[in-house]
Amino acid sequence: MKKSKSVSIETALAQGLGRMDDQFKGVIPGIHPSTTYEREPDGSYPNGRVYTRDQNPNYDQAESMLSLMEKGEGALLFSSGMSAAVSIFQALLPGDHIVAPKVMYWALRNWLLTFGADMELKVDFVENGDIDAVKAAAKPGQTKIMWMETPANPTWAVDDIAAWAEIAKSVGARLAVDNTVATPILTQPISLGADIVMHSATKYLNGHSDVLAGALITKTKDAFWERIAKVRNGGGAVMGPMEAWLLTRGMRTLSIRVERASSNAMKIAEALQSFDNVESVQYPGLPTDPGYEISCRQMNGGFGGMLSVCIKGGAEDALAVTGRLELFKRATSLGGVESLVEHRASIEGEGTPCPQNLLRLSIGIESADDLIADLKNAIDC
């Protein structure tokens, strides 16, 4: 896009950085399914592409948009959020130390405890929101990655990115931030001191529940970043061209979807507080939330579309609520245009730190009034 530095992120995204179809001048670039590229007679590749595994043209636009949003030097697309996240840890060496929060994406936490242990990686899990615990866990010269997720799924606990970044720097570690829930529309971790940002792009970045995708964005293209790129290429954890094209399409409307979902979530969180059968509401936009002050500093223009509600009673009472909902879909995942509900404890299983009476709500872009009425009928029936 010409003069892209002089326009807002919203404009740059909506116009897809101004990229068009070179051959036919279509306002949307095409899909490139070819897996390989022809050499010149002298053996050279005039377009710089050898094989689709890490050089498909459909990656270019999406990765450029990600770098722009997160203010990084480079980005890499992956086949899923999990493959993006674990590539960071696969780039470490046996014996390297990691600091991570106790409440985080459950599948990644389990990976660190199982496959991470098989790789002889050492992990200390710290209480969310306890910066003193973070300081105590970080080991100079040993800690290589400090991993944080804020707001943290599914309690939406908030951690101070700048404070974690300062600790990481003091011990010679890199700070990696899962920014899936906040999205770069609300939070830009690199601007707050992070080194790497991760997204389960399946969620808000795509936004339509029809693409499995992941992404990493780096502050600096250093040797560790090149090692991550080799992990991706060597393991083949890459996206197909159709998925990359759909992800790009989704990101063009990211700003307005996040704005609407955040607005809806705030209205719903406030309404839920008055319901008779609600024990508590977890949402970083509520002034009563423990992470509210930090959220106000590092989340710009909204507090995201994710919240959780604890129903009075136990697991059976919470599950009964999901059965009475009509507009909310009972499904895993988040960040789509449709609203979803999930009883997380039964999904995570044994060892979950998630309360048995907690329901996770992914708020979509429907009418907030309709969603509130649906919740009221299901909870206070």
As annotated, the residues of the chain forming the CATH 3.90.1150.10 domain(s) are 255-379
In the three-class reduction of DSSP (H, G, I as helix; E, B as strand; rest coil), residue 4 is classed as helix
Among candidate residues 19, 49, 53, 139, the one labeled active-site is 53
What is the mean pLDDT for each group of 10 consecutive residues in the chain (381 residues)?
Answer: 67 80 76 86 81 85 96 97 98 98 95 96 97 98 98 96 98 98 98 98 97 98 98 94 96 97 98 98 97 96 97 97 98 97 91 91 98 98 86
Which superfamily is assigned to 255-379 in CATH? Aspartate Aminotransferase, domain 1 (3.90.1150.10)
Q: Which of the residues 144, 203, 260, 360 is marked catalytic? A: 203
pLDDT, position 35:
87
The conformational region for residue 204 under phi > 0 = left, psi -120 to 50 = alpha, else beta, is: alpha
Q: How far apart are CA 326 and CA 305, in angstroms?
A: 19
What class is the 4-251 domain?
alpha beta
The residue annotated as part of the active site, out of 105, 204, 232, 283, is: 105
> What's this model's pTM, rounded to 2 decimal places?
0.93
Portions of the chain given CATH number 3.40.640.10: 4-251
The question of whether 178 is a catalytic residue gets the answer yes
Tokens of 326: 């009509």
Beta strand segments in the chain, E = 74-78, 97-101, 122-126, 143-149, 174-178, 196-199, 214-218, 278-282, 306-311, 329-330, 340-342, 358-362
pLDDT, residue 4, reads 46
Per the annotation, the verdict on 169 as an active-site residue is no
- On whether the CB atoms of residues 112 and 100 are closer than 8 A, the answer is yes
pLDDT at res. 349: 84
Active site residue 42: no
* pLDDT number for residue 3: 45
> What sign for the dihedral angle of Cα 162, 163, 166, 172?
negative
Contact 252, 16 (CB under 8 A): yes
Is 2 considered catalytic here?
Answer: no
**Which 8-state DSSP code applies to residue 206?**
T
Q: Choose the catalytic residue: 178, 195, 289, 374.
A: 178
| Residue 24: predicted pLDDT | 67
Phi–psi pair at 146, nearest 5 degrees: -110, 115
Confidence (pLDDT) at 281: 98
Contacts of 298 (CB under 8 A, 6+ apart): 150, 160, 161, 162, 187, 192
